[in-house]
Structure 1
Amino acid sequence: MQQASNLTKEQQYQKVLRYRWIVYGILVLCYFFVFLHRMAVGVIKTELIDEFAMTPVGFATLGSMYFYAYALMQIPTGILADTLGARITVTVGSVITALGSILFGLAPGVGLAYAGRLLVGLGVSVTFISITKIQTMWFKEKEFGTMTGLTSLIGNTGGIVAQTPLALLVAAFTWRTTFVGFGIISLIIALLCIIFVRNKPQDMNLPSIAEIEGREEVSVTQEKVSVKEGLKGVLSNRRVIAPFLFLMLYSAVFLTFAGTWGVSYVRDVYGLQTIEASQYMLYMMLAQAAANISIGVVSDKIKSRKKPLIVLGALGSAAWIAITIGGKLPLPLFAVLLVVFSFSITCLAMAWSIGKEVCNPRYSGMAVSVVNTGGFVGAAVGPAVFGALLKEGSGIAIYQSAMIFLAALCLAGYISSLFAKETHCRNIYYDDVKNRE
């Protein structure tokens, strides 16, 4: 490989623009498995309950172990991404994910199954924040929304695989063999990460993305990151509150249903078998995946984060309330409303972007991690509360109170979006500082 010092400036620019896709590609492959693990337990509910003699609350707790770990790790992950960098952070995280997945697959009892899911949650929790850090270092400011959408698209492909394809895979190889296999793949990803990933172009003696864009170099990489100063700045920024709340409430609805209870709901209410019921969760993941890339492109094009957030939030809230009020809807109408809601869930990318763009760019990892914590607090608590609200009976009567709970979260999330700050797709932190002076 030709040394960077022997390249012309233009050749160095082109090398940055090519090599960034290798860095991004490895990390986003890891993110594929983040979603796969996140959504997987709903499909294997019957196998887990039969094997470990679990109650509905016990099953919900098993699903939530991933989210508890993920939520607890968000702020530490932001610190790690801003200090150690994405390369080491994701490498270690992938090894922990591998150990957790293998432990889960081999667990002889429910205690070790809980431990395995907890380790998986710890391991995968570092991936998304590290990707946003890589996007900040390797991609242009105007590309951030598009790249976040692409990241979500690829991640949701993992969620798609975790529905009907996973059900078929488990039927062919058993759930234990499948999760051990996922662990082995995570070890391979860790190896790729340590070999090929670099935190920023300067680590390869290449020009920064700011230099390529022809803009002033912000001291994102030139100053030592102060963890205390960074956390204080992010946590005291009132403009982080709205995207935090929106992500917490809206994520709780989607992940509770699509990731934990949705297959059971469709099976119990409509009398379908597990593989058939999982297809409706597949529709949700496909709708989200299809919309993910477009939301980033549209946002970057119209130079607005708040407008897509409000419009899609209203659409999704209306769809979910219709599902709740409608009871046992005709199956085709139920499927359409699920698709509409899942299409709207892509507005979560706007919450991440707003969180990053209202904070000091030196602490972009911490900013996204604080906002993302909200999403996984909701995802951890939501399934357990949903399970606790289930009632004795049959069909829709079992789920009525639990579905009303999700509808209330959805409406509250939409209200919070109205208070989000419009950034016009650029970092406004220094503008705010100047305005206060």
Structure 2
Amino acid sequence: MSAGRALPPAHLAWLVWGLGAALYFIAFYQRVSPAVLTQELTREFRLSAVALGNLSAFYFYSYVAGQIPTGVIADRWGPRKLLTAGAALTAAGTLLFALAPSVAWANAGRLIIGASCGVAFVSMLKLASHWMPAKHFALASSAALLVGVTGATIAGAPMRVAVDAFGWRPVMVASAVATALVAVAIWLIVRDDPSERGYASHFPEAAHDAAPTSVLSDLRQVIGYRNTWLLFIAPGGFSALMLAFCGLWGVPFLVMHYGFTTAHAAMLTSLTLIAWSASGLAYGPLSNRIGRRKPVLIASLAATMAIWAVILFVPGLGPVGLVVLLLALGIAAGGFILVFPFSKESVPARFGGTVSGVTNMGVMFGGLFMQPLVGWVLDSHWRGTVASGGRFYELDAFQSAFSIIFIWGAIALVLLTFTHESYCKQK
């Protein structure tokens, strides 16, 4: 902390963080919007399940590829320029997707969106480490997920209503315009450090004083820590489920086998995501109170997989029971958010952006691999039945496809047991 300077007021700190969060809101909105547009996209571009899964996953391909560069750039050049450019390019990619004459152009739009809005989460965490006390980092991480899931919620039932009223292309054009306005607001208001506004910084002074090193040297140091690798692979145990089910395949599953309308199914998957993110607000304080990250993460993942098994394999679940179980699933999975403070605490503070990028890259692998893989298994089990202009998949097809998620969950549980506890303290 700089002598003679006051710390930034909380409202300003949260405003700066919140503008970064606005892009993360948009990132989640874009991430799950194909789940509500499955019928329109399938009909207009004549897509199979594999092709639809790939269209959705193009977002993840570029999002994942950009995470480590995002972390390195955020550590070295700051998040303000990164967020502004990301929001501007997201607007451009959204416009391209909205006007796409073919699936190739739609894929290109999704690729641009994923790469550009992929800077949001790591940049937000970087801003939090400068503008907020260290004890608030877990809260900021949890709040970030809640903001993101709110974006996913808007991409659920509300977006479905808008699409039914105006069509999917006009809705996506309006989304592009809103994103461009966010880019302008970020550039005008956000600053990398409170010192640029005349306040003292919360970022450790030692990190400011560290001797300059090369990008490759920094990256080698970060990946040299054991927890970096373990917390790169393990988060997929959570995200493979939430991103594959709530992000794409849950809506057709609920429509085909539980009699929900598309709007109601979208609302239910959105509620699951809300439970997931809102529960994260409790996991951070709980973990801080007991001074441990590892046991909370393990318990959360074990409970998540147990509930998922009931949903998938117990027959005769009524609508009420299914709703309760899906909400419980979201609550159990909320502990996933602890991977971010856990990974940050496992390396020196100056590498906070880089390690957050590595960890978030691992999180996104859950969607990148699982969305098209689930689609491939569904297509391999398709029996030629068509309904409402699209393929109809039997229940056993969904059970086979969703069962793959258990493999990742089991691997993640094993890996978490090998992590070194940080005791909620920065390395």
- TM-score, with structure 1 as normaliser: 0.91
Structure 2 residue aligned with 1:26, among 19, 23, 36?
A: 19
Q: 1:240 to 1:270 in 2, by over 3 A?
A: same
Aligned-partner Cα distance in 2 for 1:116–1:388: 23
Aligned-partner Cα distance in 2 for 1:327–1:61: 30
* Aligned twin of 2:389: none
Q: Is 1:410 matched with 2:403? A: no
Structure 2 residue aligned with 1:145, among 105, 114, 138?
A: 138
Q: 1:104 to 1:37 in 2, by over 3 A?
A: same
2:119 partner letter: V
Q: Deviations over 1:191-236 (max 9, x none)?
A: 11111110011223322225xxxxx722246643531221001112
Q: What are the equivalent positions in structure 2 for 1:205-244 lying under 5 Å apart?
A: 205-209=198-202, 217-220=205-208, 223-224=211-212, 226-244=214-232
* Aligned twin of 2:64: 71
Q: What are the equivalent positions in structure 2 for 1:328-339 lying under 5 Å apart?
A: 329-339=317-327
* Aligned twin of 2:278: 290
Q: What are the equivalent positions in structure 2 for 1:60-99 lying under 5 Å apart?
A: 60-99=53-92
Deviation at 1:296, TM superposition (A): 1.8
Aligned-partner Cα distance in 2 for 1:139–1:192: 21
Aligned-partner Cα distance in 2 for 1:281–1:261: 10
Aligned-partner Cα distance in 2 for 1:318–1:131: 32
Aligned-partner Cα distance in 2 for 1:300–1:172: 46
Deviation at 1:149, TM superposition (A): 1.0
Q: Is 1:177 matched with 2:170? A: yes
1:276 partner letter: H
Q: What are the equivalent positions in structure 2 for 1:34-183 lying under 5 Å apart?
A: 34-183=27-176
Q: Is 1:346 matched with 2:328? A: no
**2:276–2:334 CA contact under 8 A, matched in 1:** yes
**1:146–1:295 CA contact under 8 A, matched in 2:** no
Aligned-partner Cα distance in 2 for 1:356–1:396: 41
User: CA RMSD, aligned part only?
Assistant: 1.8
Q: Is 1:369 matched with 2:368? A: no
Q: Deviations over 1:155-188 (max 9, x none)?
A: 1111111111111121122111111111111111
Deviation at 1:14, TM superposition (A): 4.9
Deviation at 1:242, TM superposition (A): 2.0
Aligned-partner Cα distance in 1 for 2:56–2:208: 37
Moved more, 381-390 or 199-208: 199-208
**1:82–1:225 CA contact under 8 A, matched in 2:** no
- Report the 3-state secondary structure (helix = DSSP H, G, I; strand = E; otherwise coil) of the residue aligned with 1:218: helix
* Aligned twin of 2:374: 386
* Aligned twin of 1:435: none
2:382 partner letter: E
Aligned-partner Cα distance in 2 for 1:57–1:221: 51
Aligned-partner Cα distance in 1 for 2:367–2:225: 24
Aligned-partner Cα distance in 1 for 2:73–2:205: 22
Q: Deviations over 1:256-275 (max 9, x none)?
A: 11101110111111232211
* Aligned twin of 1:396: 395
Deviation at 1:336, TM superposition (A): 1.9
**2:60–2:365 CA contact under 8 A, matched in 1:** yes
Moved more, 68-77 or 391-400: 391-400
Q: What are the equivalent positions in structure 2 for 1:259-278 lying under 5 Å apart?
A: 259-278=247-266
Q: Deviations over 1:33-75 (max 9, x none)?
A: 1111111110110000011111111000001000111110010
**1:133–1:364 CA contact under 8 A, matched in 2:** yes
Aligned-partner Cα distance in 2 for 1:318–1:312: 10
**2:146–2:274 CA contact under 8 A, matched in 1:** no
Aligned-partner Cα distance in 2 for 1:379–1:270: 24
Aligned-partner Cα distance in 2 for 1:240–1:116: 31
2:424 partner letter: C
Aligned-partner Cα distance in 1 for 2:279–2:265: 22
Moved more, 398-407 or 131-140: 398-407
- Report the 3-state secondary structure (helix = DSSP H, G, I; strand = E; otherwise coil) of the residue aligned with 2:331: helix
Q: 1:131 to 1:221 in 2, by over 3 A?
A: farther
1:399 partner letter: F
**2:8–2:194 CA contact under 8 A, matched in 1:** no
Deviation at 1:315, TM superposition (A): 1.0
**1:280–1:335 CA contact under 8 A, matched in 2:** yes
Aligned-partner Cα distance in 1 for 2:319–2:31: 26
- TM-score, with structure 2 as normaliser: 0.93
Residue identity over aligned pairs, in percent, reads 29
* Aligned twin of 1:420: 419
Q: 1:150 to 1:110 in 2, by over 3 A?
A: same
Deviation at 1:107, TM superposition (A): 0.8
Runs of 4+ in 1 over 6 A off after TM superposition: none
Aligned-partner Cα distance in 2 for 1:282–1:377: 21
- Report the 3-state secondary structure (helix = DSSP H, G, I; strand = E; otherwise coil) of the residue aligned with 1:36: helix
1:371 partner letter: T
Deviation at 1:15, TM superposition (A): 3.8
* Aligned twin of 1:432: none
- Report the 3-state secondary structure (helix = DSSP H, G, I; strand = E; otherwise coil) of the residue aligned with 2:6: helix
1:422 partner letter: E
Aligned-partner Cα distance in 2 for 1:190–1:335: 37
Aligned-partner Cα distance in 2 for 1:114–1:195: 32
Alignment gaps of 5+ in structure 2: 384-392
Aligned-partner Cα distance in 2 for 1:202–1:123: 27
